[in-house]
């Protein structure tokens, strides 16, 4: 089937991800046949299964850019938003370069997913802390201040490691930080206030 639909299949290489329905429409086949197609070529190593009904080509998986990784992070666990050190790197607040993992905040569960070569890490936050994120290029990501406070929050409970010396905290909006700190526990507030001198 692959050789018969090679030109159409090449179009999948350009997508950040695709569904069984996308394959059915592209190859003009039934949904069940598309499922068999995806399963077969996942076993052959040509496709990578991101999660149920979501796939990416192996070639594309090895060539993902940061926005595409963020897009996949958003779909692997819904709802979620990119945050923590990943977000701080995006906003150029940390000098650390994060090459092999993407971190997100989630309402459902703390979990790791490794479809391909990238580790997608999710940290569960309480509902009252699941806030202050924006949509940039169809990707949900926390504001810079929220990325910092999410990181400090987990750190304050011994669930996260941060190299504070790698952070340029002068790039953060102190007024926004002060406002956001009201929703965090006192131990998180004390650490953040000391670090940011607020």
Average pLDDT per 10 consecutive residues for the chain, totaling 198 residues: 58 83 91 94 93 92 92 96 97 86 96 93 97 96 98 97 95 97 97 94
Note whether 95 and 58 are within 8 A (CB): no
What structural domains and CATH numbers belong to the chain?
3-61 (1.10.10.10), 66-196 (no CATH)
pLDDT of residue 74: 97
CA distances from 132 to 31, 149, 174 (A): 39, 11, 15
CA distances from 114 to 48, 100, 126, 132 (A): 10, 10, 24, 27
pLDDT of residue 21: 95
Total residue length of the chain: 198
Distance of CA 148 to the CA centre of its chain: 16
pLDDT of residue 148: 98
Which one-letter DSSP state was computed for residue 36?
A: H
């Amino acid at each position: 089937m692959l050789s018969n639909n090679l030109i159409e299949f090449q179009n999948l290489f350009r997508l950040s991800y695709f569904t069984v329905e996308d394959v059915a429409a592209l190859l003009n086949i039934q949904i069940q046949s598309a499922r068999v197609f995806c399963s077969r070529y996942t076993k052959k190593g040509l496709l990578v299964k991101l999660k149920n009904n979501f796939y990416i080509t192996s070639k594309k998986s090895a060539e993902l850019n940061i926005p595409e990784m963020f897009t996949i992070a958003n779909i692997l666990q819904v709802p979620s938003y990119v945050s923590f050190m990943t977000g701080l790197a995006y906003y150029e607040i940390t000098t650390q370069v994060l090459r092999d993992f993407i971190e997100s905040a989630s309402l459902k569960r703390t979990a790791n997913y490794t479809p391909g070569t990238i580790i997608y890490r999710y940290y569960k936050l309480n509902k009252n802390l699941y806030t202050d994120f924006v949509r940039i290029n169809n990707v949900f990501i926390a504001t810079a201040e929220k990325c910092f406070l999410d990181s400090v929050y987990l750190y304050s409970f011994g669930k996260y490691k941060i190299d504070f010396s790698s952070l340029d905290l002068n790039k953060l909006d102190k007024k926004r930080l002060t406002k956001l700190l009201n929703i965090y526990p006192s131990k998180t507030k004390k650490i953040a206030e000391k670090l940011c001198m607020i």
